[in-house]
Amino acid sequence: MYADYAYLIVGLPVLAFILTIFFGWHLPRGGGFLTVLATFAGFIISAGIFTEIFPEKVVHQSMHWFATLNVGILIDPLALVMLLMVTFVCTLIHTYALGYMNGDPGMARYFAEAGLFTAAMLGLVYSDNLLQLFIFWELVGLCSYLLIGFWYRKPSAASAAKKAFLTTRVGDVMFLAGIILLYNNMAKLGLPEGTYLLQFPVIYENLTRIDPTQLTLVSLLLLGGAAGKSGQFPLDIWLPDAMEGPTTVSAMIHAATMVTAGVYLVARMFPLFYAAPYGLLAVAYVGGFTALYAATMGLAAFDIKRVLAFSTVSQLGYMMLALGVGSVVGAAAVGVSMFHLIGHSFFKALLFLCAGSVIHAVATNDLREMGGVGRYMRWTAGTMAIGGLALAGFPGTTGFFSKDEILVTAWEYGAMTHDYLPYIFGIVGALLTAFYTFRMWFLTFTGEPRSDYHKHESPWIMLGPLVILALFALFFGMPAQEGFYETVGNNFAHYGVDFEELAPIGGHVVEHGGEEAAVHEPFIIKILPILVGVGGIILALLFYSPWKKLDIRKFVGEKDLLRTILVKRYYQHEIFTAWFAETVVYGISLIANIFDIRIVDGVLNKISETTLGFANSIRRAQTGVIQNYITALVFGIVVLVIVIKLAMEVGL
Instruction: Identify whether 514 is part of a domain.
Output: no
Same domain, 616 and 633: no
Task: Please give the single-letter amino acid code of residue 511.
Answer: E
Same domain, 486 and 612: no
Instruction: Identify whether 517 is part of a domain.
Output: no
Instruction: Identify whether 163 is part of a domain.
Output: yes
Query: What pLDDT score was predicted for residue 370?
Result: 93
Instruction: Identify whether 428 is part of a domain.
Output: yes
Query: What pLDDT score was predicted for residue 513?
Result: 47
Closest CA to 573 of 291, 305, 249, 239: 239
Same domain, 164 and 90: yes
Residues with Cβ < 8 Å from 444, sequence gap 6 or more?
A: 304, 358, 367, 370, 371, 373, 374, 381, 384
Same domain, 124 and 175: yes
In whole angstroms, give the CA distance from residue 461 to residue 277.
Answer: 51
Same domain, 563 and 632: no
How many structural domains comprise the chain?
3
Which residue(s) pair with 63 in the sheet? Answer: 71
Same domain, 632 and 587: no
Instruction: Identify whether 543 is part of a domain.
Output: yes
Question: Which residues form the domain of 597?
Answer: 578-621
In whole angstroms, give the CA distance from residue 602 to residue 590.
Answer: 16
Same domain, 76 and 201: yes
Same domain, 406 and 494: yes
pLDDT along the chain (652 residues), means of 10: 92 96 92 96 96 90 86 95 96 96 92 96 95 96 94 92 91 96 95 92 96 96 94 88 90 90 96 94 95 94 94 95 90 94 96 94 91 93 96 94 93 90 96 96 93 87 96 93 90 93 84 54 87 95 89 83 89 83 87 89 90 84 78 88 86 72
Query: What pLDDT score was predicted for residue 624?
Result: 76
pTM of the full predicted structure? 0.90
In whole angstroms, give the CA distance from residue 486 to residue 495.
Answer: 16
Instruction: Identify whether 91 is part of a domain.
Output: yes
Residues with Cβ < 8 Å from 530, sequence gap 6 or more?
A: 393, 395, 400, 404
Closest CA to 84 of 57, 122, 111: 122
Same domain, 75 and 160: yes
Instruction: Identify whether 224 is part of a domain.
Output: yes
Same domain, 641 and 557: no
Query: What pLDDT score was predicted for residue 517?
Result: 53
Where on the phi/psi map is residue 72: left (φ > 0), alpha (ψ -120 to 50), or beta?
beta
Instruction: Identify whether 516 is part of a domain.
Output: no
Same domain, 567 and 614: no
Same domain, 407 and 391: yes
